[in-house]
C-alpha cells in the first residue's frame, strides 16, 4: 500500500465509492458534502501540495444522500513544477482505497466558437500535448497493463447519465474534445488555431494525466469542463486568471447541483 493509502485508510470512517476532482475556482462542492472529514493535503504522506490560486488543497470525504464520496479540492499541475507522475498520486491513492469511478472537473478555454463562458461541457475525448505521460517508466502490472487502451477514455454511459441529469436541471450539456497543454502561459491565437485544426474544442492545463492513470487502473471517468473564457484570439480580449475564477464562482451552485445528482446516479 502507498504511504498515503496507509495513512488514510484507518482515518476515514467510510470507503468512498466515487471521487470528484475539483478544478480552478470549482472547489465549493467539497463543502457541500454531509458528514465531512477534511484532510489537508499537507497531512497526507507523499501527496503533492496545491500551490495554484483557486485550489484549496484538501481532501474531503463525506456523503451525498448516504453515498460515500471523496472530493479533491485542488490538484497538482505540471505548471507548478510537478511531473505527470506526481499529478496522479491522488488518483492512484483513491483507487487503492476502493474508488471505482471518478469525475474530473476543470476550468477550460473555449476553442469551439459555439461555447461561451459559463457553459458546462462533457469531455468526449482528449488530446495530450503535455509532452508527458504519467504511465511512462516501469509499469506496475498490479495497477494495469503496459499499453492501456484509450479508445473510450471518458465513459460513454457516464456521459449519457450526465446529459440526462443536466437536462432535468434545465442544462444543455454539449460534448467536446479537451486538449491539455502544460501552461502556465495562456495560448497564443496561432496555437489556438492549430488546436482547432487538430480537433480540439476545449483547452486546459490539467485532467489528461488523471484520465490516463484512471483508465490504466480500470476506473471509469467522467470529465466536465467549465468554460471560463473564450480561448485566445476567439474574441478580441486578453485572458487572465481572475476571469477564470469569477466564472467558476458564478457557476458554483449549478455545478454543485449537477455533481450531487451525478454522485447519486453514476
Q: Quick one: cell of 160? A: 449519457
Nearer to ligand HPA, 70 or 72 (CB): 72
Number of H helices and number of E strands within the chain? 8, 9
Q: Quick one: cell of 60? A: 474531503
Non-local (6+) Cβ contacts of 180 within 8 A are: 126, 127, 128, 129, 130, 203, 204, 205, 206, 207, 208, 209
The rounded Cα 227 to chain-centroid distance in angstroms is 13
Q: Does the protein bind ligand HPA through residue 219 (CB under 6 A)? A: no
Site for ligand HPA in 57-116 (CB under 6 A): 107-109
Scored b (16 or more CB within 10 A) or e, 71-88 reads bbbbbbbbebebebbbbb
Assess contact for 183 and 131: CB atoms under 8 A. no
Q: Quick one: cell of 10? A: 484507518
Q: Does the protein bind ligand HPA through residue 231 (CB under 6 A)? A: yes
Nearer to ligand HPA, 93 or 206 (CB): 206
According to CB under 6 A, which one of 60, 99, 208, 244 is a site residue for ligand HPA? 244
Q: How far apart are CA 248 and CA 261, in angstroms?
A: 19
Q: Which of 79, 85, 96, 100 is catalytic?
A: 79
Binding mask 162-191 for ligand HPA (x = CB under 6 A): ------------------------xx----
Residue that has been written with the C-alpha cell 488546436 in this structure: 195
**Could you tell me the smallest distance in angstroms from the CB atom of residue 189 to ligand HPA?**
11
Closest CA to 257 of 34, 32, 70: 32
Q: Does the protein bind ligand HPA through residue 229 (CB under 6 A)? A: yes
Q: Which of 5, 205, 217, 231 is catalytic?
A: 205
According to CB under 6 A, which one of 16, 57, 204, 223 is a site residue for ligand HPA? 204
Nearer to ligand HPA, 80 or 187 (CB): 187
**Could you tell me the smallest distance in angstroms from the CB atom of residue 38 to ligand HPA?**
26
- State the CB neighbour count (10 A cutoff) for residue 163: 16
**Could you tell me the smallest distance in angstroms from the CB atom of residue 146 to ligand HPA?**
31
Q: How far apart are CA 159 and CA 95, in angstroms?
A: 21
Has 96 been annotated as catalytic? Answer: no
Has 229 been annotated as catalytic? Answer: yes
Site for ligand HPA in 108-127 (CB under 6 A): 108-109
Span of 57-65, 86-94, 162-170, 226-234 interacting with ligand HPA by CB under 6 A? 226-234
Assess contact for 226 and 28: CB atoms under 8 A. no
Give the footprint of ligand HPA on this chain (CB under 6 A). Answer: 107-109, 186-187, 203-205, 228-229, 231, 239, 244
Q: Which residues are catalytic?
A: 24, 55, 77, 79-80, 107, 205-206, 229, 241
Amino acid at each position: 500500500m502507498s504511504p498515503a493509502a496507509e495513512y488514510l485508510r484507518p482515518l476515514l470512517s467510510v470507503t468512498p465509492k466515487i471521487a470528484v476532482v475539483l478544478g480552478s475556482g470549482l472547489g465549493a462542492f467539497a463543502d457541500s458534502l454531509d458528514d465531512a472529514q477534511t484532510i489537508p493535503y499537507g497531512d497526507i504522506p507523499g501527496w503533492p501540495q496545491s500551490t495554484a490560486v483557486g485550489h484549496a488543497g484538501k481532501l474531503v470525504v463525506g456523503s451525498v444522500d448516504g453515498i460515500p464520496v471523496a472530493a479533491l479540492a485542488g490538484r497538482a499541475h505540471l505548471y507548478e513544477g510537478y511531473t505527470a507522475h506526481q499529478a496522479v498520486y491522488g488518483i492512484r491513492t483513491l483507487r487503492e482505497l476502493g474508488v471505482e469511478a471518478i469525475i474530473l472537473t476543470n476550468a477550460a478555454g473555449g476553442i469551439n466558437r459555439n461555447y461561451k463562458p459559463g457553459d458546462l461541457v462533457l469531455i468526449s475525448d482528449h488530446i495530450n500535448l503535455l509532452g508527458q505521460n504519467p504511465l511512462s517508466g516501469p509499469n506496475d502490472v498490479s495497477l494495469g497493463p503496459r499499453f492501456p487502451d484509450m479508445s473510450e477514455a471518458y465513459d460513454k454511459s457516464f456521459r449519457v447519465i450526465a446529459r440526462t441529469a443536466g437536462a432535468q436541471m434545465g442544462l444543455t450539456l454539449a460534448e467536446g474534445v479537451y486538449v491539455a497543454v502544460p501552461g502556465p502561459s495562456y495560448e497564443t491565437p496561432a496555437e489556438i488555431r492549430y488546436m482547432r485544426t487538430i480537433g480540439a474544442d476545449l483547452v486546459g492545463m490539467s485532467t489528461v494525466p488523471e484520465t490516463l492513470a484512471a483508465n490504466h487502473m480500470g476506473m471509469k471517468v467522467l470529465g466536465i469542463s467549465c468554460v471560463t473564457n473564450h480561448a485566445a484570439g476567439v474574441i478580441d480580449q486578453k485572458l487572465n486568471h481572475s476571469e477564470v475564477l469569477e466564472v467558476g464562482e458564478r457557476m458554483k451552485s449549478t455545478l454543485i447541483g449537477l455533481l450531487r445528482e451525478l454522485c447519486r446516479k453514476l
